């Protein structure tokens, strides 16, 4: 059996901290979430490698550094309410829960909704997972201080910007499937106007839903 605690610490130091993310709050959040519990059976021994891994329903769990980069860009604080779109097996939501006050995760795959809920129940009580179309956000719980989307769309859906609180931040990749996409940070000013910033190239699966990937 691998020494997961040792592997987790090495992942934090080599994959996250060494790449410039030095917030102790973020680093400790990753130290406190066992990634091996969020990957498909048979892949636990590779849980702390520097790449995505398979999860249930034919989906993947993101590379740890990319999860950290998006959390850092979203500037999540201890009193924040966060919406995560594309929750998957729940790993990123679990990490965010160690930083934020409340996390709502939206996942379109029913099997993953069930799996993520089971993993959250015992240890991550400030996380709620719902099944639905993440491109529409979760208006019943809006506004949110931060929104993170773990899939790439052709644009940033206006409905998500509408669900940001004044001063809120949204981080999501924009670009076509199968190519390098642009990781964007959108900040909603107090007056309702938005500022957009590029954080660099990434690769994500397409954002599927009513306001997801659209041609043209």
Residues annotated catalytic, as ranges: 62
End-to-end CA separation in angstroms for the chain: 50
Q: Which helix (H) or strand (E) holds 197?
A: strand 194-202
Strand partners, 195: 187
Distance between CA atoms of residues 204 and 181, nearest Å:
8
Distance CA 84, CA 200 (A): 20
A 10 A CB-CB count for 25 gives 13
Q: What is the dihedral of CA 70, 72, 74, 77, to 10 degrees?
A: 140
Q: Which SS3 state, helix, strand or coil, does residue 167 take? A: strand
């Amino acid at each position: 059996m691998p020494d997961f605690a040792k592997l987790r610490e090495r992942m934090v130091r080599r994959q996250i901290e060494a790449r410039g993310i030095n917030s102790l709050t973020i680093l400790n959040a990753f130290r406190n979430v066992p990634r091996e519990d969020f990957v498909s059976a048979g892949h636990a021994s590779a849980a702390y490698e520097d790449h995505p891994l398979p999860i249930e329903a034919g989906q993947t769990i993101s590379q740890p550094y990319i999860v950290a980069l998006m959390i850092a860009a979203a500037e999540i604080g201890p009193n924040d309410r966060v919406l995560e779109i594309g929750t998957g097996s729940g790993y990123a939501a679990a990490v965010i829960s160690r930083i934020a006050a409340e996390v709502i995760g939206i996942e379109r795959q029913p099997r993953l909704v069930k799996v993520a809920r089971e993993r959250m129940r015992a240890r991550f009580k400030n996380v709620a997972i719902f099944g639905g179309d993440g491109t529409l956000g979760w208006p019943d719980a809006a506004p949110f201080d931060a929104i993170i989307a773990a899939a790439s769309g052709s644009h940033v859906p206006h409905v998500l910007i509408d669900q940001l609180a004044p001063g809120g931040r949204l981080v999501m990749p924009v670009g076509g499937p199968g190519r390098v996409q642009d990781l964007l940070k959108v900040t909603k000013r107090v007056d309702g106007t938005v500022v957009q910033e590029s954080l660099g190239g990434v690769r994500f699966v397409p954002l599927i839903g009513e306001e997801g990937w659209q041609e043209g």
